[in-house]
Amino acid sequence: MATVSDIQALKGKRKIVALTCYDYTFAKILNTLDVDVVLVGDSIGMVLFGEKNTHAVTVQKIAAHTAAVAKGYTRGLLVADMPHQSYQNPEAALENAQKMIVAGAQAVKLEGGREMLPQIQYLIENGIAVVGHLGHLPQTAEKIRVQGRDEVGFMQLKADALALAKTGVSMIVLELMPTALAGGISRSLSIPTIGIGAGVETDGQILVLQDMLGLYDDFSPKFLKRFGNLKKEVENSVKSYITEVTEKIYPDADHSYS
């Protein structure tokens, strides 16, 4: 099991590899590979539950899936997302973050900049490691848009990143921003940044597992690269099953009991 410090120590040495995961079966696979950080993300709302956004994701849902992932993924750092409306004030943030830790998370991630400092500070004071999330913030954004292209947004993101780091977050996810901005932020911080749609200059990368495997295709932003085509694999396997069942090929003697 890696600690927050183990992951932080990778900054400047090699890129940090992070992926989302929501279940035991995939967690076991990721555990055999060099995946440094696994996030039980609130993208679960869209990917597993077919919602339009993350709003219906509850603390109970993330905690239950964190417990499942924790059984299969033990080699790296397990981070649980704090769902929408679960950290409106410091007390709520702590109560809900503790549920994630009890479920097996080693850190929690929450979205937002300087306006979130009271919550972040309170969590850290109470011994909970926090991962920040800046740039495009899916819990509150109305639509997906590259952040920090204008002067004001650029300066705001830089200031937010510095403030979060000063308050003691363990690392920061940078979502949907120009490569130069994410690179500049990454170089200005001593903690790692993990990019998604933020170019190659961040300290690591994260993608939603089902997106990069080519399983979930409701979402196709420019930054997303599909590293596999599991949808096709699933279709082919199910087609073979349908044929063999309807033609009485399966179950054959090898798969039957006498």
> What does the block give as tokens for 257?
């009991």
User: Can residue 42 be called a binding residue for ligand KIV (CB under 6 A)?
Assistant: yes
Options 27, 70, 81, 161; binder of ligand KIV; rule CB under 6 A: 81
Residue 4-33 contact track with ligand KIV, rule CB under 6 A, x = bound: ----------------x-------------
User: Can residue 208 be called a binding residue for ligand KIV (CB under 6 A)?
Assistant: yes
CA distances from 68 to 61, 105, 159, 177 (A): 11, 11, 37, 32
User: Can residue 169 be called a binding residue for ligand KIV (CB under 6 A)?
Assistant: no
User: Distance (Å, rounded) from C-alpha 230 to C-alpha 4?
Assistant: 32
- CB of 57 or CB of 128, closer to ligand KIV: 57
Q: For the chain, what's the residue count?
A: 258
Closest residue to ligand KIV, Cβ-based?
41
Options 37, 41, 80, 112; binder of ligand KIV; rule CB under 6 A: 41
CB of 171 to ligand KIV, least distance (A): 12
CA angle, 121 then 159 then 88, to 5°: 40
Q: Closest Cα to residue 6, out of 205, 192, 184? A: 192
User: Can residue 69 be called a binding residue for ligand KIV (CB under 6 A)?
Assistant: no
CA distances from 71 to 27, 57, 65, 205 (A): 8, 21, 10, 24
Annotation marks residue 151 as catalytic? no
Q: Which residues contact ligand KIV by CB under 6 A? A: 20, 39, 41-43, 81, 173, 175, 196, 206, 208
